Amino acid sequence: MKKILIIGIGAGNPEYITIQAVNALNQADVFFLMDKGLSKEKLNHLRKEICERYIVDRDYRVVEALNPERQREGVGYLQAVDNLNSEKQHTFERLIAEELEDGECGAFLVWGDPSLYDSTIRILDAIIETGRHDLQYDVIPGITSVQALTAQHKVPLNHIGRSVEITTGRRLAQGFPDNVDSVVVMLDAENTYKTLADQDLDIYWGAYLGTPDEILISGKLGEVAEEIERVRKAAREANGWIMDTYLLKRGVEEKSE
């Protein structure tokens, strides 16, 4: 039997690591790090820093593998994601077969939380379903970029008694969702918030949350949309990549119920 730990490591600050995650780190024999290229090498540097900081008196190995890239053209988004996860599955299976011995514990260190916009759980489920590996896994939750964003802006996620929706830029392009007053948007490469700049919305935007490169901007959407676009473009050019999240909130008079 081989065991895998899917460990949520938070949104970028090494101090976001939970006690449960620290205990999990100290169980692993092998850490699998997916290499996303030079522009994102800071991500794996943080993973290695977390291991060095929190693993005590235990030998472990770090194995890096090239992370497949999602096809951007010639195929629909959902199909592209399916293809990407299939390629990742092949990579994960190879790592588990070649780098993890029976009785050993391997770990994937997942940015944020493994349940939010990450496919590691789905991929491991698919591997187990093949029946080719005697494998089990556990999931350790982590602090998400949503939590980091609201904490840094010192704003509650929801209005009292109101719902919250977490969505993507692709979905937001269809308009502000009905029946909610707070919308968290992730994976927005097209600055979709600008399409809503004429609405009475507040925006709380953050990039590289929890890291030394963190950037925060907030205000009335119509007043700060252009600033966010300018700052976002400059940050992406400077770092070679960007990871950002934002919260949109309608003005709602809150009354006790």
pLDDT band, very low/low/confident/very high, at 254 (cuts 50, 70, 90): very low
Q: Which CATH architecture has domain 145-250?
A: 2-Layer Sandwich (3.30)
Return the pLDDT at 57.
94
Q: Residue 251: what pLDDT?
A: 78
pLDDT of the residue at 216: 98
Per-residue pLDDT tens digits for 186-213: 989 999 999 999 999 999 999 999 999 9
Regarding predicted confidence, which is higher, 154 or 87? 154
Determine the 3-state secondary structure of 96 from DSSP: helix
Q: Taking the domains of the chain in order of start, what are their residue ranges?
A: 2-140, 145-250
| Closest to 144 (Cα-Cα) out of 111, 121, 176 | 111
Report the DSSP beta bridge partners of residue 138: 5
pLDDT at 20 over 80: yes
Average pLDDT over residues 2-22: 96
CATH-assigned architecture of domain 2-140: 3-Layer(aba) Sandwich (3.40)
Kindly report, residue by residue over 38-66, the tens digit of the pLDDT: 656 788 889 999 999 999 999 999 999 88
Residue 90: phi and psi, rounded to 5, are -60, -40
Count CB atoms within 10 A of the CB of residue 72.
8
Name which of 99, 166, 89 is nearest 132 in CA terms. 89
pLDDT digits (tens, 9 = 90+) for 115-166: 998 899 999 999 999 998 899 999 999 999 999 999 999 999 998 888 999 9
**Which pTM does this prediction carry?**
0.89
- Quote the mean pLDDT of the chain: 91
pLDDT value of position 255: 41
Contact between residue 206 and residue 243 where contact means Cβ atoms under 8 Å apart: no
Residue 246 has what pLDDT?
Answer: 98
Q: Which residue has the higher pLDDT, 101 or 35?
A: 101
Q: Which of 78, 16, 71, 70 is nearest to 47 (CA)?
A: 16
What pLDDT is attached to residue 38?
Answer: 62
**d(C-alpha 127, C-alpha 75), whole Å:** 25
Whole-angstrom distance, CA of residue 63 vs CA of residue 52: 15
